[in-house]
Amino acid sequence: MSAPRRRKRRDEEENHPDERWMASYMDMVTVLMCMFIVLFAMSTVDQAKFEQLKASLATGFGQVETNTVDTAKGVVVPPAMVESEEVLDPDADLAMLAAMEVQDLTALRDRLQGGLEDKGLQDDVRFEIDERGLTIRLVSSEMFFEPDLADLTAEARDVLNVIGPILQPTAYDLSVEGHTAQVRQYTDTALDWELSSSRSVNVLRYLMEPGGIDYSRIKAVGYGESRPLNAGTTPAELAQNRRVDIVVLSGQSEAVRQLMPAVVNGEITFPAEPQSPAGEEEPEKEVLPASNH
């Protein structure tokens, strides 16, 4: 009786095998399908949305400076500015560098002007700050040079004795530029551009030898009558064109130097002192004084 019953169970096992392995197989297939879906999604990144996400994260953490904007429209700002809810202008750094450069050149101009006033020589020198730097203009031609000659007069040496020691310790490069008022021979073969070159070279030599300015920082240029200050023909106007300029050349980038005239004209301002902590009165803004012309 028992033998037929055992045979029946064996037949049932052969007709209905164990299928529990299929559950693990289906789980594995499901995981593989999810992995391939993720890989496919990663292979088709929307670049615009990715850039927006990157900029938004950078804005949130405040660690990266960039001009890329996020979906909220703005610029990435440093953490200090996030706390005060200020947003910097994209050109703020350039404007600040220009303001600082003009401030340094203005301080140098004031030292030169003060030294000349002590010697009573301030009326024969003019100053101008522009995108090139600080121009020290020796405008009294009859004082600095004899007519049609390139030799320095005693008065010219007095002026350069004030200018040289003040410029010597600075790090600026210098360009000494000679100018004349009209084409006129001062020797049998030389024209005004040679006269202007000789005068600029003599000024350069005096700034180097008694003044102590290193030769690697200074150059001489002769422009003749090609760059007049004005187109007049009166003796006074011609005297202004007959000059030697000592240009203190700014070492800033072109983008910064282009903003310097706006600083001089008061179109760009900056705080006179660091801003006070919250709750204190904010210091007034000062406008850099324009240079003498």
Greater confidence, 188 or 140? 140
Quick one: DSSP state of residue 151?
S
pLDDT tens digits for 75-134? 444 555 444 444 445 568 899 999 999 999 999 999 999 999 999 988 889 999 999 999
* Tens digits of residue pLDDT in 151-206: 888 888 999 999 999 999 999 999 999 988 765 555 555 567 888 899 999 999 99
Listed in sequence order, the residues at least 6 apart from 287 whose beta carbon sits closer than 8 Å to its beta carbon are 266, 269
Within 10 angstroms of residue 19's Cβ, the number of other Cβ atoms is 8
3-state class (DSSP) for residue 290: coil
Residue 148, pLDDT score = 77
The pLDDT of residue 273 is 45
Q: Average pLDDT over the chain, rounded to whole?
A: 76
Report all structural domains of the chain as residue ranges with CATH numbers, in order of start. 13-84 (no CATH), 94-264 (3.30.1330.60)
Helix then strand then coil, in percent of the chain rounded to 5, is 50, 10, 40
pLDDT above 90: residue 252 = yes
Dihedral of alpha carbons 238, 244, 246, 247, sign:
positive
pLDDT at 141: 59
Beginning with the edge strand found earlier in the chain, give each strand of the sheet holding 133-138 in spatial order: 125-129, 133-138, 243-249, 173-179, 218-222
pLDDT for 14-29, tens place per residue?
566 677 778 888 888 8
**Exposed/middle/buried for 79, CB within 10 Å: 0-12, 13-18, 19+?**
exposed
Give the integer Cα–Cα distance in Å for 93 and 110: 26
Entry pTM: 0.60
